[in-house]
Structure formats: C-alpha cells, structure tokens
A and B are shown apart, each in its own frame.
Chain A
Amino acid sequence: MSKAVQLLVGTRKGAWIYRSDADRAAWRVQGPIFLGHIVNHLVLDPRDGKTLMMAAKTGHLGPTIYRSTDGGETWAEAARPPAFPRAEGDRARAVDHTFWLSPGHADEPGVWWAGTSPPGLFVSRDHGDTWEGVAGFNDHPMYWNWCPEDGGTPDGALLNQVVIDPREPAHMYIATSTGGVFETLDRGATWAPLNRNVRADFFPDPYPEYGQDAHYLALSPAAPDRLWQQNHCGIYRLDRPSDVWERIGEAMPPEIGDIGFTILAHPRDADTAWVLPMDGTEVWPRTSPGGRPAVYRTRDAGRTWERQDGGLPDDGQAWFTVKRQAFGADAQHPVGLYFGATNGEVWMSADEGETWRQIARHLPEIYSVVAAPL
C-alpha cells in the first residue's frame, strides 16, 4: 500500500488538495477548487478510495453538495442537496449550510450522512446525489428542546458530527452544539441523549440531560467502545456500555486548561489521543493559550497529558485557532498528524506529534483538514 497521503483542505474561500510523496516529505498542491466557495468539509470515500464529497455554499448562494470521482478535476452537483421538508410558521427550517459529511458504514457503499446548520441529520443512499432528512432526529418530539433556535455558534447551531460504529451500521452517534451527544441503535429511527457527567456551565444546572455543546466526538478505531469528546466545557472519555463520561481534561495543566474544538483518536492505540487546546478563559479568545500553539497527547486514556510543540511557533505571538474538523491523522507508521489553522497555515507531524513543520500558509481561514491515503 502506498505510503503517500492526500490532505483535503476546506476553507472559507475554497478547497485545496495537497498530495505527498511516499515519505510525506514533499507536497504538491492542487487548487484552488471552487475559489470563493465556503467549504465546510471535504471528505474522501474510504470504500472506493476515489469519491470526493464536498459541502459548499457561498456568501450569496444556498448550500449544496459537490462530488468528484477524478481527484477533484471535475465536480457534479447533487441533484437534491440536504433540505428540510416544507413547513409553515416560524419553525419552517431551511438548511443554511452542510457542516459535516460522513461516509456510511463500510458494508453500505453509496450511503452518506450529513449534518447541517440549523441542526439536521440527512442521509443519501445514492452516493450523495439525493439527500433526505432523517425524521427520527429532525422531527423528534424533543427536537426543539435539543436544538433550540437561539443555541449554537456564531455561524448557527450545528449538527456537527456523525459517527458510525464500525461493527454495526445501525449504531450511530451524533454531536450537536445545542444538545450535546445523541445515540441511536436503529439507524436513526430513535435517539437518546448521551451526556451524563458532561458539564454545561452556561446553565443553572451544569449537568443537564441535554444542552451541552459537543465540539467534537472521536471513536477509537482500535476500540470502538471508546469515545473521546472535546466539549465546550472540557475533554471527556466514555467507555461503553457505560453512559457516564469522565472528564479526563482535569489532568491537563491548569494554565492550559481543557478547552478546545477538536480531538483525535490514534488509529491503532486505543489509549492515545491528541487535543489542540485553546484559551477558554474570561472572554473566550479561543486562541492558542499564551500565543504558543501546542498539541497535547495522552497515551494512558487521559490520565496524563504531555505537551508536543516541537517546531511550532514558540515566540508567544501565534494566535491562531484550530476548528472542529481541521485536525486529522493518517494511518501510517508512525502516524502523521495534520492541522489547519484559522490563519491559513497547514502544519504536519510525521512522528505522532513530536515535531511539527508548516507545509502550507497564506490559505484562507481553514475549516477542515482530512488526511486520506493517496
């Protein structure tokens, strides 16, 4: 198998694809692709190794989905992008943007899942050409409690992730910015909150059944019963079948804290994960703490954390942010890590976070970075 990697980079102003040599040393760039389009996510289908799926809109135009099967040279637009059903009154929802795309289970070629803003779960069964809402969530009797209209991020409330159990396609998790994490055991027909012991310190009751802001959810490929969560209020781990999350971020250095947007699970080691902390103090700058970006790694399931900042800016004047889906890993030996920052820089580590180097800069604000085999 080739050791080359492709990085799929979605930005506020278009997409770029970086392709490496076998040593992950030299990178060729393709792009801009759809210059000026807001690309929230660009994903490769691991089931065929060639289909690219892109969630896009522009400042003016409504949201859509583009697909490519020739490495991003040509693109076809979905015939029916994610859209809510017609409704009357002030609860008539319209998709503002698709935020997240997940290829379906390995046994279900052609199936894709999408999360939108305002929060909606959508599925395609025809390789992303037509999409329909998943009524089990979007029309759930609790929907407006789980996804209140005034919740969410500056870009709107999000259904920001769909995570599928690799052992069972009917078992899925979703993460939202307004209700936290939810689980289904029946392919989305019914859902239940999964937020016990996850803090929401912006409510009178800081441990509600739902209402948390789940920034990012990662399932450990090496142990699919293990979930990692970077929440608005800390870093958590959950080992199923338990439904009680443990705040493993308590072990982070207090001067760094455990606030961030993203968390990454090691592809082969169930006890290893990485986070990219940001400043969540006072007015929430959401920048690198102290102007010194660093990755923190745990290799013991969150009991301890170590700082990894070799090669990253160390002059105390680097103030970027790394957003939810802008941190990715390849599956090589050793694992390569990649993140894209709000200042348009892409950084990589070919040694599991020990040392970092910049491989792109001057891009627009980066929204997503996905590493995939080339």
Chain B
Amino acid sequence: MSVPTIAVMVPSQLVAYTAGATRVAAAGATVAEVLEDLDRQFPGLKFRVIDEQDRVRRHMRVYVGPERVADLRRGVSAGEELLIFGALSGG
C-alpha cells in the first residue's frame, strides 16, 4: 500500500518555515509520519509544534479533519487533511 500524501494547513506562526505557504502537502501513514515528512521539507518545524516526548505543545493544536489529535500514532488516509493551529497563548 502506498503512503498517502495529504494536505496540511500551516498556521501563521509557522509560515517562516514554509516560505509563506499556508497549505502544503506531506506524506505519511500516521500523524507522526506526516510531521516527520513536514520536518524534512521544512527543517525545524516539527519541534516547534511537538516536544521531545512526542506531545503536542501546550498552545498548539493538531487536528485530522474535525478530530483533535493527541496521539501522534493516529493513522491518516488519502483525502484527509492535517490542520495545525496556534491556540490561545495569552498576551
């Protein structure tokens, strides 16, 4: 089975990594793999979102479609979309 390529929505906080792009594509069968591929394309991006214990950082949010993701092992399928948000982080 081929590894799906899915659309990723990049928040404003991360466009410095993507040369301004807010929608990019990345490949992977799980959220973790998609994030790894994103990091290959845009070095450094993943660590700003996911800490060294594979936890989504406190003020970031990761969704697959409408579903909020906490466990990066969640599988993804072709046609799904990964959305990354900068959540509320105070003043």
Contacts and interface: CB of A to CB of B under 8 A. Distances in A.
Interface of A: 58-62, 64, 77-79, 81, 83-87, 92-95
B57 A61 contact: yes
Contact of A60 (B51, B53, B59): B59
Contact of B53 (A77, A78, A87): A87
A86 B53 contact: yes
Contact of B48 (A62, A84, A85, A94): A62
B52 A94 contact: yes
B87 interface: yes
A94 B50 CA distance: 10
Q: Is the interface of A mostly helix, strand, loop or mixed?
A: loop
Contacts of A95: 51-52
Contacts of A77: 43-44
A84 B90 contact: no
Interface in B43-72: 43-44, 47-55, 57, 59-60
Contacts of B60: 60-61
A93 B52 CA distance: 8
Nearest to A36: B13
A81 B47 CA distance: 9
Nearest to A82: B52
B89 A94 contact: no
Interface string B19-63: 000000000000000000000000110011111111101011000
Given A59-B59, A83-B52, A64 B90 contact: no
Contacts of B48: 61-62, 64
B86 interface: yes
5 contacts: A62-B48, A64-B47, A77-B43, A78-B44, A94-B53
A77 B48 CA distance: 11
A94 B11 CA distance: 23
B6 interface: no
B14 interface: yes
Contacts of A61: 13-14, 48-49, 57, 60, 86
Given A59-B59, A77-B44, A86 B86 contact: no
